[in-house]
Amino acid sequence: MADKQPQYRRIVLKISGEGFCPPGEFGIHRAPLDRVAAEIRDVSELGVQVAVVVGGGNLMRGASFSNDLGIDIATADYMGMLATVLNALALQEALERTGADTRVQSAISIQRVCEPFIRRRALRHLEKGRIVILGGGTGNPHVTTDSCAALRAAELKADALLKGTKVDGVYDDDPQTNPHATLYQRVTYNDVIDQRLRVMDVSAIDVCQQHHVPIVVFNLMKPGTMRRVVLGESLGTFVGP
């Protein structure tokens, strides 16, 4: 509805690599890329400051790559981080095709390609209404982009961390294999940790809990959901104190 106001002033949005390709496929595909970009643009146009942390699982995951090719896990993780930069650049192009103003920052310096991640600079871009796309993960191996999203949400003082997934939110079992799995509307950080609910890495939950960042897990595959969440509809699962 036209009179609804955004619930958040600033959000960090986590988009997994799977948001860039059709289900079960690999690589970057035009249709999902453009759709995700349009969804992000729609949220930004509400006047919400948006920083996007991009994953890289559509291109490579460090752990499986390391196993398959006998590459040291740290090296494979660096390769995974570089993959997230590829997604970040593709998302930037797609967002700019929609007319959005963007900047890409990477935690791994690649100054010919994008800015380095500098917290105060990222904040300035956000204040100017630019969508900041964060590639390169944390810049450190042995963690995931979920942890990166939690850290960035904390340091950029985001009002919420929105995690887009391919299901409606957090369930008591895997909804893709168990049709009777129940969707939680609201869970606490401790529920997630104690019951090992599949939301994000424990370290990511821990950072959000310590820094009082609520998490909303929503279905990225259902068009318009992200915008509706930002406008306060209780869709998906809210993770909080």
**List of residues contacting ligand UDP (CB under 6 A):** 16-17, 55-57, 61-62, 77, 80-81, 84, 137-138, 140-141, 143-146, 148
Q: Which is nearer to ligand UDP, 48 or 107 (CB)?
A: 107
Residue 130: how many other CB atoms lie within 10 Å? 19
CB of 128 to ligand UDP, least distance (A): 26
CB of 17 to ligand UDP, least distance (A): 3
Q: Which is nearer to ligand UDP, 53 or 180 (CB)?
A: 53
- Whole-number Å distance between alpha carbons of 231 and 221: 18
CB of 76 to ligand UDP, least distance (A): 6
Q: Which is nearer to ligand UDP, 62 or 214 (CB)?
A: 62
Can you count the helices (H) and strands (E) in the chain?
8, 11
Does residue 131 sit in helix, strand or coil?
strand
Q: Which is nearer to ligand UDP, 128 or 198 (CB)?
A: 198
Residue 160 contacts residue 8 (beta carbons within 8 Å)? yes
- Whole-number Å distance between alpha carbons of 77 and 17: 15
- Whole-number Å distance between alpha carbons of 209 and 213: 6
CB of 185 to ligand UDP, least distance (A): 24
